[in-house]
Structure 1
Amino acid sequence: MLRLEELSLNVPETTKPRVIIIGGGFGGINLARKLPGKDFQVVMFNKQNYHGFWPLLYQVATAGLEPDAIAEPLRKMFDEDYEDFHFRPVRVSRINPESKTISTAIGDLRYDYLVIATGTKSNFFGNEQIKKYSFPLKQIPDALNLRSQLLQSFELANMTKDPEKRQSLLNIVIVGGGPTGVEMAGSLAEMRKHILPGDYPGMDFSKMNIYLVEGLDRVLPPMSPESSQKTHKYLEEMGIIIKLKTLVESYDGEVATLKGGEQIRTQTLVWAAGVAGATVEGMPAETVERGKYIVNRFNQVKGYTDIFAIGDIAKMTTDLFPNGHPGVAQPAIQQGRHLAKNFQRLLRGETYEPFEYFDKGSLAIIGRNRAVADLPKNIKLGGFIAWVAWLFVHLYYLIGFRNKLVVISNWVYRFFTYEHGTRLIIRAFVRKDDKQGQEFIKLQRMD
């Protein structure tokens, strides 16, 4: 077995400027793709060996898509056509600005320019109990865990003799009324109506409750009030129980307690209530504000000319965006491409140009023929037109021809049949103290 001390980063020495990119999300890949290998050596670090299209994670969680339909191997994206590009599936544990190096478990590496594109992680606001028992939705393993949990719950509900336990298995609480929470709720409602009655003909799914809990006074707070109002109406038509201006105080794996004392018995609580920046150790405290790196209009981190941050991890304030750019893919894509141009300007002896964000709008899907869109020039769309727009936009930004083909064929199939993928429990989900999961495992053991 290989030990860590037997490994090294194995990045060749170079006389070209070395750009280290931490993160293989939208910002990182768009930056790397625009940096010519004849001028730069590019080294990308990412904990996974793939780039994922996270806006479709909820469809993986509800068995609408398989994981490989929304992910593309990073090595495949940067083949031999990308000269002097090097990828390492290694976590960067520390940034060392004084020595201009980054640290990993298998060694350090010097940089000329460092770009932090680490994105965000789930924010549990310090509530360790909720963190332990809830289901976040930020990575593919999260979606697969949630998929297993949902399918296991339906199987156990179909076999239990206790009505109270059955109801607990059929109650699903989604915390957070942003796009992730809304889209997850809508997808579950469509499963409840079109899929689950056929899979479990002896069970009454009218008793399956889907709760959407939001701390603010409307769903989809980042979008316009008009879109929020339409979304609220769509959700109610689909039978979603909406609780606004409500917080979840605790969850022990069996009971979700809301602020005010109301309790909901549930085995599944989906946490979509917020995110925090995925910062890296080593940067001074004054460079970070509310979990994001403070950057100027050139994406340079406060106090540094050779360290940059792009995408969700960067806080760039402007007159139009006093709190920073929205946490969606477009700012990361545009900042990655713009920074690549600035690096090339630097090589030509030119000065950097400031970043200007072009807001292409926001979209959210609630269900079949139900979506909302806030577009430039104050254009608001809803219903079927917004739904079609959502489909084409998400298909366009998927990486790889195969993924586009798989996803569109799945969507067309589901449009005509109402079917939802292959509802396979590939691996049962069980926590160490998860009694429900342990009971499900026992059902399948032969010894």
Structure 2
Amino acid sequence: MTGQITNIPNPGKKKRIVIVGGGFGGLKIARKLKGQPFQVVLLDKNNYHLFQPLLYQVATAGIEPSAISFPFRKIFKGYPDFHIRICEVQQVVPAEKRIETSIGSLDYDYLVIATGCYTNYFGNNKMALRTMSLKTTAEALHNRNQVLESFEKALNTPDAGKRKQLMTFAIVGGGATGIELAGALAEMRKFILPHDYPDLDLSLMRIILIDGASRLLSAFSAQSSEEVKKYLTNLGVELLLDEQVKSYENGILGLSSGSTLATENVYWVAGVKANSLAGFPTESYGPGNRLKVNAYNQVEGFTNIFAIGDTALMLSEQYPKGHPQVVQPAIQQAMNVVKNLKHLEHGQPLIPFKYNNKGSMATIGRNKAVVELPKIRFGGFPAWAVWLFIHLMSIVGVKNRLFIFVDWMWSYFTYDPSLRLIIKPQPSADEEEKKEN
């Protein structure tokens, strides 16, 4: 670790709020603190906010990553006493009110941990090396390359078995991301690939969705699950329920039933694990590595440290396992934390957090989606239209919304998104030298 981060002056001696993570929750807190009598420091590994719910469309060549990314420095341009540093936060030292990062240490008066989550492999670390996950822009672009390269390789191989293996796509996880991926791949097979690869027999392409539960979208109602099942089946997606993945080696996926699948393309979207910071007592961490918090989102035992969203575990009678790790709890907790930061400064009582479940939605593709609101459930085209509108309005930046809207409308009317590019990073000097030798 390097020394103290010294280039964040505080001449006004304002209390410093450090926000770790610029996802939905961290971004909301930072924006709501504009004009408040605090110094705000936002720390993130990237220099942009990422709209993760649409990463699957990047991975399937539907939209460009720049359309769902927005630079922090553009968002916070003109904010008074606001500082951004790109780094990795390594641990917190609560006793000294300090965090340690890849660029040095930083003192804080209040700390907000909004670090989100990453893919959960449930202890099977080999899966992390051999399957495709979908939590970052880099992963989405890697997935896009692999999907497109699979068809190029299938076109060039004389081996019929290898061709079939390259054209088999397994998706592990039947939640919203899993069904969205399955639907997007099925639409590629139906509308796009026959034109791009007329020399390939696309009847060989298989899309297999695997889940350990007895139904898809287990967080939704049974009616929505059945509706999604019907949509996917009609699109030609094969469903393997009550089935778990046990191994994946040399292109062979081993299942709990003893059967196997030959595939070169395995997506792992079966679960998430919190990105909680190190440095707290062992008892501060709950299941899934989430930080235990009280009703005010304060990490248990600390009045000046808050955790929100995916990384926070707030237990209640209604949510005995904590709030769902989705966008809405993070945003609502962020709003409540901002209020409580002001209350702390004025010696006022804190406001307990109460989650307002506004509903859930998932799309399976063109004209197919399910929406569950507190008092109504519906599917089909109306649900798809609602899904489009809500996601479009949630994107940061008018320009980004316009780009995505144009991409969606072009794809809808022409059946031909034009982003099927294989873009690889330039090899390093060491890699080039190995090739020459």
| Superposed pair shares fold, TM > 0.5 | yes
Q: 1:38 to 1:259 in 2, by over 3 A?
A: closer
CA distance in 2, matches of 1:421, 1:330: 32
Q: TM-score, normalised by structure 1?
A: 0.93
Q: Which residue of 2 aligns with 1:12?
A: 9
State the match for 2:185 in structure 1: 188
Partner of 1:50: 48
3-state DSSP class of the match of 2:96? Answer: coil
Letter in 2 for 1:195: I
In 2, Cα distance between equivalents of 1:6 and 1:110 = 12
TM-score w.r.t. the length of structure 2 is 0.95
Aligned residue number for residue 23 of structure 1? 21
* 2:415 alignment partner in structure 1: 418
Whether 1:353 aligns to 2:351 is: yes
Aligned partners of 1:241 and 1:203: how far apart in 2? 20
1:280 aligns with 2:277: yes
In structure 2, the partner of 1:156 is 153
The alpha-carbon deviation at position 319 of structure 1 amounts to 2.4
Q: Which residue of 2 aligns with 1:433?
A: none
When structure 1 is superposed on structure 2, of 35-44 and 106-115 the one drifting more is 35-44
Kindly indicate whether the alpha-carbon contact (under 8 Å) linking 1:331 and 1:357 is maintained by their aligned counterparts in 2: yes
1:381 to 372, 378, 382: 378
**Residue matched to 2:217:** 220
Q: 1:319 aligns with which of 313, 317, 320?
A: 317
Q: Which residue type is aligned with residue 303 of structure 1?
A: G
Separation in structure 2 between the aligned mates of residue 260 and residue 384 of structure 1, nearest angstrom: 37
The 2-side partners of 1:95 and 1:206 are apart by 54
Aligned partners of 2:276, 2:354: CA distance in 1, in Å? Answer: 24
Q: CA deviation at 1:348?
A: 2.6
How far apart, in 2, do the equivalents of 1:429 and 1:159 lie? 24
Provide the rounded CA distance (Å) in 2 between the counterparts of 1:7 and 1:369. Answer: 54
What corresponds to 1:434 in structure 2? none
Counterparts of residues 47-196 of structure 1 (less than 5 Å): 47-80=45-78, 82-196=79-193
Partner of 2:390: 393
Q: What is the letter of the counterpart of residue 381 of structure 1?
A: F
The 1-side partners of 2:350 and 2:3 are apart by 42
Question: What whole-Å deviation, never above 9, does each CA across 1:246-286 have from its counterpart, x for those lacking one?
Answer: 00101125111111221111111000000000011101111
Identity of aligned residues (%): 47
Task: Read off the aligned partner of 1:133 and give its amino acid letter.
Answer: R
Q: Give 4+ residue runs of structure 1 displaced > 3 Å after superposition.
A: 4-9
Q: Please, which runs of 5 or more residues in structure 2 have no aligned partner?
A: none
C-alpha offsets along residues 186-243 of structure 1, whole Å, 9 cap, x if unaligned? 0000000000010011111111000000001001111111111100110100000000
* Displacement of 1:16: 1.1
Question: Hey, what's the Cα distance between the residues in 1 that align with 2:116 and 2:396?
Answer: 18
**How many angstroms apart in 1 are the aligned matches of 2:253 and 2:426?**
20
Equivalent residue number for residue 435 of structure 1: none
Output the amino acid matched with 1:271: W
The DSSP-based 3-state class of the residue aligned with 1:98 is helix
Q: Aligned to 2:42, what secondary structure does the other structure show?
A: strand
Give me the whole-angstrom Cα distance separating, in 2, the residues matched to 1:157 and 1:321. Answer: 48
Question: Counterpart of 2:235?
Answer: 238
Q: Report SS of the residue matched to 2:95.
A: coil
Aligned pairs, how many?
430
Note if contact 1:23-1:45 (Cα within 8 Å) is conserved in structure 2. yes
Is the 2:61–2:144 contact (alpha carbons within 8 Å) kept by the matching residues of 1?
A: yes
**Cα distance, 1:173–1:9 mapped onto 2, change above 3 Å:** farther
**Contact persistence 1:372–1:382 (CA under 8 A):** yes
